[in-house]
Structures are given as structure tokens and as C-alpha cells.
Amino acid sequence: MTGLSIENISMRFDLPNGGAVQALKDVSLHLKPGELLSVLGPSGCGKTTLLNILAGFLAPTAGQIMLNGHRVTGPDAERGMVFQQGALFEWMNVRDNVSFGPRMKGVSAADYMPNVEHLLDVVGLKDFKDKAIYELSGGMQQRVALARCLANDPDVILMDEPLGALDALTREKMQGLVLKLWKETGKTIILITHSVEEALLLGERLLVMAPRPGRIHKEYRLPFADMGVGQDLRMVKKHPEFAEKREEILSMIWDMEEEIMGRAEAGAGA
Amino acid sequence: MIPLVIYVLIFVAAFIVVRILASRLSARHDFTSLKTVTFGDESAVRPDRWASVISLLTIFLLWGAFTGSKLVPVHVPGPFVGDTEFTYTLQAPDGSTDDATIFVRVFPIGEDVEQRATEPGPGFAKNDSITVGAWRSQLILFDKNDEITRKDGAQVIAIDGIPVTSGGAVQTTAGRVVVTPKGSLNYEPPKGMQMEPIWLPPPEAVASRVLEIAREGYQNFTLWEHLGWSLYRVVVGFMLGALVGIPLGYAMGLSNWFRGWFDPIVEFMRPVPPLALIPLVIIWAGIGESGKIILLFLAALWIMAIAARSGVSGVRISKVHAAYSLGASKWQVLRHVIIPNSLPEIFTGARVAMGVCWGTVVAAELVAAEKGAGMMIMVAAKFQLTDIVIMGIILIGIIGYGIDILFRIAERWLVPWKGKG
């Protein structure tokens, strides 16, 4: 079976004080190749844990991940990851960061260079390829991270709040870039975000997760990602259905947050 | 106390003068120059190079002024040199008194001197003539030539007309005169405010000593051999320490077993000052080269191990994760992520270790060595050759500073990403 299957994943963390936290409980999901999924949820709902399990950094306590018919057992180049910040290698220049994956596989420079040059062109960093990482702005750094991930040609791209640390204007430009890359490359992308707007814009499918234990609360299928490709994202945001969905999801998350607060207060009272 | 007051005064005066000159010279007097808030912003504080220059000049000036240096135009009053005299009044047992004069010639130490010719003078107390070196004092057996002596019961009752008793002292224009408990006189000429060369030689004496030792050597070795041997010990000891310490630190940062095994040893040895190991190292390895190098090896080892360990532990997990999900193997993660990521920490550790090693080698040479910078100043101190001691301290300081600057340059060149991650 092609695509990415999340099959009954559960994850428990044992705490040093003897207790345990159920970070994820019985999460199942199937993604077809080329789907763009955004994941939303209040803090503590296990979305980063889920992403780490997908990447292979964590082994789930129950369940399994299947990608294109084989089981995921650890990190691999078929599942690329884009982090929020600080995951670039400062000791390499932009080009060496982007070509890191191919170089580790032993691909010769003659073979990977054209693709690396092309990707740098796509993310708009052609003139910066010899610059050091610390000479770039935050937005440029995230573009390097995207290019680095794409240079490896992964089947699935996992994004852990990749635009979370950027300013509003840069963030909007980067959202457009992510959509463009998604359409051009046809990769399966899973994007975790805190921003409801971003989740709506960058999700063909949108998953709202609920905390304690972390689980899928509700799933949406949305038209906005397709609408947004090559378009001004502000026009998409003006769509009446966009505002409606945003309000619906925001109040859903607010309810969850209030429930957590209430439970915490009850716990403190008891 | 007085030098300190002068120092503070120069500090304040230089500050005010430079401030006034700077504000006269700078063209900006508009509001823009007032808008920039820099006070309280630590990163906006840069060393004022004028202050540095004036600071060094002030130290040099004070040094020269208080040692009578020829390089410095102004001096504090020096010790009295020349001829002076004072009188003493001797009382015979029968109550009769007589005055006699002591003619004093104060001469600079190290020069030949002739006594002043004197007439014995009238009365039972006779005039005397003495010579005293500057900064020294002189016991005067004044009654050697007197007709009635202390054995006969005579005693000094006044100096320059000021009454004095046995054990008392009188400050005259000629200097300080003490009547000892036995009744003889002890004379000190005025010392002025300058330092005696034996405590602090003037700058030019130190400079000429540097030239002399650079030419002729000291204690069987040339100056360059002394300094070179010290440096050689530091470099070899540090290299060995780094060679063992860095892999050890990596192992401790990457493996639970290594961490558990070496943690107690490293954590115990780290706070032990290397100087405390000198006696043990001398017992084990003697005072030769191997002992010194073992000591410096131990001084550098723990610092380098801890620097490498924290360099490894300090790697952001997202960098390691990123490398793994880009398809890197364990070995490639170590080679391309963990090691380069730890280099800034290792450089910081190396700078600290070099500083500690340089301090330790000098201390070890002070204790026992046949050559080296520390040995040079230790031997010189035993012979009261203060100029060599000061020369040694200055050279040790310059070399230590030079090592640190070299490391900083190397750091900027080799790990330019330091502090920018």
C-alpha cells in the first residue's frame, strides 16, 4: 500500500517520579502520496511527539508507522524533517548545508550540484550559496532548511512549526513558498503549527488534536491550500468559509484549553 | 598611599581632559547624538583606547617618578645625598655639658666616598665625621674620641639642642637621630619618597638588564633558552593533555559507561589546583623535564576533557535529528555534527588550559628547575636582583598575553561560527 499509515499509535512517557504521561492514545491516520496535512492542537496534545515518532526519533509504545508498505523503525532519508530553528549546521555554508544529504549518501558533487543549484534558485538563495548560516536572516535560514530537506528527495516531509519563529510578513511569504514547493514536488507534507490561520492555509487536510491523552479530535478537508497555490494568500483569507472555519476551530481549541485549566483547578482544589 | 592618591588623581584628570577634548573635537552636537541610549547597554561599552594608552603611561610615569628614573622628567623627592651635620650635647657625670658636631656625608650606594675632614674642637666632647649610604642608617660611636665617655657615665642629653633621653629619637633637619638604649647614636639621613633600587629598580635598569641577559644569558642559559624551555614544556604538556583529554571528553559525552567511569575522577581532579600536585610530581618524577611535562599534562587534561564533554553535550538535539533524517549514519553524525559543534567549546577550554599551564609551569620552575622563566626569577630573588625579577615578571606576562591573543586569532579563523548558533 502506498502512502503513509499511522496505525493505532500510543505513546507513554514514564516520569522520574514513578508516574506516567499518556502523550498519544490510539492515533490512526492514512495519508495518500502528495497529501498536505496540517496538525493543530493546544500545547500538550502530543503533536510534536507524533511527528518525532513519524521521523523515527521515538519508538511508539504501541502501534506502528507504515510508509509505502514497509515499517518505520528509525530515522531515514525517506522522511525529511524541517525544524523550527537552529537545526542548520553553522560550520557549513549554505551550499554545504543543502547538499548535506546527498553528500552523506556518497553522491558525487557532479551529480548533486545541479539539483542543489536548482533548489537554491527555487527558494531564492542563489546569490547566498557561499554565505555562512549566521550571516542569513531567520527567514533565509528557514529557506535553507527547506532546500536542505528537498535536496534529499524524501517521500514525506515533516515540518515542526517551521515558520513559528518568523515575523508576520516573512511568515506569509514562506507560507506561499511551502505551497509552491508542495505543488511542484508532489511530496507528502505533514506540518505542525500553532497558528490556526496557517493550518487552514497549508492543509488539504487539517487535524485538530486534543490533549490528555493526545488523540485526534476532529479532521477537516479544506479547499484553501489548492486555492492558495500561486495566489495571494490574503485573498484566500478573505474567503467567507475561511473566516467561518477559523472561528470554529479557534473556539474548539479554546474549549479544550478551558477544560485543561478547569481540570488543573479542580486538581489543585482537591 | 601617596602613589595611590596620585594614581587616582591622574585617572580623574585624564578622564576629564579626554572628555573635554573629545567633545570639542566631535562635530556632532545635535539632538541625534543625545538620542542614542548607550548607558546600561553592556554591548555598547567599548574600551576607550585613549584611556588604555594613558593608563600604561601613568604606570610607567609613577614607576619612573618613584624610582628616580632618568626617562621620566618629574620625580618625587629622592633620598638626601651630600653633606650635613648635627650637634649632640654630652653631659658629664659632674653635670657639666659640652656640645660637639657630627659631620655627615651621605653618598649614593655603590660609589666611593671620603670622610669629611674635621677638627676635634674644644671641650671634652669632640667632633666626629661619618659617612652613610643613602637609604641606610649608621650607628655612631660618638664618644670614641671624647675625653669623657659613656663608660665614665657621660650621656647624650640633647641633639641640636632638643632634649632627648636614652631610647628616644629626634627629627632634625639633618635626619633622624635615635639614642639607643645603650646610649650610642643611630643616624638615618632623610629617605625622601623614592623607592630604593633593591625594592624597585627604575625602568631603565630593568631595560638594560633585559639587554644584558639577552646578550650574555643568566645562570648558564641564554634568556631565549630560559623562555623557550618554559614554552616548550607548556606546549608539550598542553598537547599531551589535549590529545588525551579531548577523546576522553568525547567518550564521556557519548557513552553512559565512560561517563560513569570517569565522572568521579574528573570531577575530583578538576578542583585540585595543579600547584598542589607539584610536590607529588617531584617525588615521582624528580625536577627534570618529565616531571614538568607530567604536571602540565595533568593541568591541561581535566580542563580539555570537561570542555570536550560539554561541547558534545551542548549539541542541539535538533541538529542531530536533522542529520539523521537526512540519512547520516552514526559515524557521520559524529564526524559532521558533533565534532564541529564541539569545537568552539574546545577552543574556549584550550584557551583556559593554556593560561593555567603557563601559570603552572612558572610555579613549578619557582619550586625547582635548572632552567626556565620561573627559575630565572627565583634565583634572582635569592640574590636580591630585583631588576631581573621584574624583567622576568614582565616577560612572563607578555608571553601569557601573547599566547591568549594567538588563541583568539586562531579561534576567529577556525571557528567563526562561535556564539552565533
Domain limit, last residue, from A98, A118, A153: A153
Q: Which of A190-194, B23-27, B108-112, B371-375 has the lowest mean pLDDT?
A: B23-27
A120-124, A260-264, B328-332 — most confident range: B328-332
A79:B325 CB<8 A: yes
Residue B117 lies in a domain: yes
Answer whether A86 sits within 8 Å of B416, measured CB to CB: no
Return the SS3 of B12: helix
Taking residues A115-135, what's their average pLDDT?
Answer: 88
pLDDT of A228 above 60: yes
Please indicate, yes or no, whether residues B234 and B268 belong to a single structural domain of this protein: yes
Same domain, B410 and B339: yes
- Identify whether B75 is part of a domain: no
Q: Note whether A146 and A159 are same-domain residues.
A: no
The residue of chain B with its CA nearest to that of A52 is: B321
A25 & A147 share domain = no
Indicate whether B114 and B216 sit together in one domain: no
- Using a CB-CB distance cutoff of 8 angstroms, which residues of chain B are in contact with residue A131? none
Query: Do residues A140 and A119 share a domain?
Result: yes
Percent of chain A with pLDDT over 90: 9
Q: pLDDT-derived band of residue B354, with 50, 70 and 90 as boundaries?
A: very high
Separation CA A249–CA A243 (nearest Å): 10
CA distance A109 to B209: 62
A59 in the same domain as A23: yes
Give pLDDT, residue A216. 85
When pLDDT is cut at 50, 70 and 90, the band that residue B111 belongs to is: confident
Give, to the nearest 10 degrees, the angle between helix B386-414 and helix B223-254: 40
**Closest CA–CA distance from residue B344 to any residue of chain A (Å):** 10
The residue-averaged pLDDT of B115-135 equals 84
Does B35 have pLDDT greater than 80?
no
If DSSP codes are grouped into helix, strand and coil, which group holds residue B36?
coil
Banded pLDDT at B73 (limits 50, 70, 90)? confident
Regarding whether A147 and A116 lie in a shared domain, the answer is yes
Q: Model confidence over B163-183: pLDDT tens digits?
A: 888 888 888 888 888 888 888
Predicted confidence at residue B31, as pLDDT, reads 56
Contact A75 B337 (CB under 8 A): no
Question: Who's near B210: CB < 8 A, 6+ residues apart?
Answer: B223, B391, B395
Same domain? B221 vs B359? yes
Domain boundary among B38, B65, B92: B65
Q: Would you say A246 and A230 are in contact if contact means Cβ atoms under 8 Å apart?
A: no
B327 and A104 in contact by Cβ < 8 A? yes
- The one-letter code for the residue type at B104 is V
Q: Which domain covers residue B21, as residue numbers?
A: 2-65
How remote is the C-alpha of A15 from its chain's centroid?
Answer: 27
Average pLDDT for A111-137: 88
pLDDT of residue B151: 82
Beta strand pairing call for A4-14 and A62-67: antiparallel
The yes-or-no verdict on residue B34 having pLDDT over 60 is no
| C-beta separation of B342 from B219 below 8 A | no
Query: pLDDT-derived band of residue A270, with 50, 70 and 90 as boundaries?
Result: very low
Q: Could you tell me if A111 and A130 lie in one domain?
A: yes
Mean pLDDT along residues B347-358: 93
Determine the average pLDDT of the residues in B118-131: 84
B366 CB within 8 Å of a chain A CB: no
The model's confidence at residue B406, banded by pLDDT at 50, 70 and 90, is very high
Rounded CA separation B417/B407 (Å)? 15
Read off the pTM.
Answer: 0.79
Whether residues B249 and B319 fall in one domain? yes
Q: What is the mean pLDDT of residues B344-362?
A: 93
A207 forms beta bridges with: A39, A219
What are the grid coordinates assigned to A202, written together? 497549508
Best of A51, A83, A90, A141 to disrupt the B interface (most B CBs within 10 Å) is A90
Which among A76, A83, A100 has the least Cβ separation from residue B318? A83
State whether A220 and A234 are in the same domain: yes
Q: What mean pLDDT comes out for the span B174-197?
A: 86
**Residues A72 and A197 occupy one common structural domain:** yes
Range from B32-41, B136-145, B233-242 that averages highest in pLDDT: B233-242
Helices (H), B190-287: 203-216, 223-254, 256-269, 278-285
pLDDT above 90 coverage of chain B, percent? 36
Q: Which residues form the domain of A245?
A: 4-78+155-269
- Within a domain: residue B405? yes
Is 60 exceeded by the pLDDT of residue B36?
no
Claim to verify: residue A182 and residue A240 sit in the same structural domain: yes
Q: Give dist(CA B412, CA B118) in Å, integer.
A: 75
pLDDT of residue B40: 63
Cβ-based neighbour number of residue A92 at 10 Å: 19
**Which residues of chain A neighbour B328 with C-beta distances below 8 Å?**
100, 104
Q: Does B416 touch chain A (CB under 8 A)?
A: yes
Single residue among B188, B217, B251 that ends a domain in this structure? B188
Question: Residue B162 and residue B310: Cα distance in Å, rounded?
Answer: 75
Mean pLDDT on A12-37: 86
Angle, nearest 10°, between helix axes B223-254 and B203-216? 90
Number of folded domains that form chain A: 2
Q: Of the candidates A98, A123, A153, which is a domain's last residue?
A: A153
Identify which has the larger pLDDT, A229 or B103: B103
What is the number of helices (H) and of strands (E) in chain A? Answer: 10, 10
Cβ distance A100 to B319 less than 8 Å, yes or no, reads no
* Residue where a domain terminates, one of B162, B188, B214: B188
The domain that contains A62 carries what CATH number? 3.40.50.300
CA pair distance B132, B103, nearest whole angstrom: 11
Model confidence over A58-96: pLDDT tens digits?
A: 888 888 888 888 888 888 888 999 988 878 998 998 999
What percentage of chain B reaches a pLDDT higher than 70? 95
Mean pLDDT of B285-294: 88
Looking at the fold, whether A181 and A141 belong to one and the same domain comes out as: no
Parallel, antiparallel, or unpaired for β B175-179 and B185-188?
antiparallel
- With contact defined as beta carbons under 8 Å apart, do A222 and A236 qualify? no
Question: Which of residues B43 and B171 earns the better pLDDT score?
Answer: B171
B177 with B41, same domain: the answer is: no
Which of A124-128, A224-228, A249-253 is the least confident region? A224-228
B38 confidence band (pLDDT: 50, 70, 90)? low
Task: Give the ipTM of the model, two decimals please.
Answer: 0.88
Between CA B347 and CA B354 the distance in angstroms is 10
Asked whether residue B73 is assigned to any structural domain, the reply reads: no
Q: Is the pLDDT confidence value at A1 over 70?
A: no
**Alpha carbon distances (Å) from B398 to A92, B41, B394:** 36, 32, 6
- Most B CBs within 10 Å, among A91, A105, A130, to test the B interface: A91
Same domain, A67 and A91: no
What is chain A's mean pLDDT, rounded? 85
- Number of structural domains (chain B) is 3
Last residue of a domain, one of A126, A153, A180: A153
More confident residue, B323 or A201: B323
Same structural domain, B21 and B118 = no
Closest partner CB to B417 (pick from A80, A87, A90) = A90
Verify whether the Cβ–Cβ distance A104 to B337 is below 8 Å. Answer: no
Phi, psi of A44 (to 5 degrees): 90, 10
Are residues B216 and B343 both part of a single domain?
yes
Across the interface, whether the CB atoms of B340 and A91 are under 8 A apart is answered yes
> Are A100 and B329 in contact (CB < 8 Å)?
no
pLDDT band at B42 (very low <50, low <70, confident <90, very high): low
Element containing residue A64 per DSSP (H, E): strand A62-67
Q: Does B46 touch chain A (CB under 8 A)?
A: no
Please check whether residue B411 touches A, CB under 8 A: no
Q: Do B292 and B256 belong together in one domain?
A: yes
- Joined together, the cell numbers standing for residue B405 give 591573543
B417 at A interface, C-beta within 8 A: yes
CATH number at residue B359: 1.10.3720.10
Contact predicate A239/A224, CB 8 Å: yes
Same domain? A68 vs A106? no
Asked if B250 and B178 sit in the same domain, the reply is: no
Q: Is the same domain home to B269 and B374?
A: yes
Answer whether residue B35 is part of any domain: yes
Per-position b or e across A149-161, b if 16+ CB within 10 A of its CB: bbbbebbbbbbbb
**d(C-alpha A5, C-alpha A67), whole Å:** 6
Q: Is the minimum CB–CB distance between B325 and chain A shorter than 8 Å? A: yes
CB A89 to CB B329 under 8 A? no
Is the same domain home to B183 and B217? no
**A231 contacts A246 by C-beta, under 8 angstroms:** no
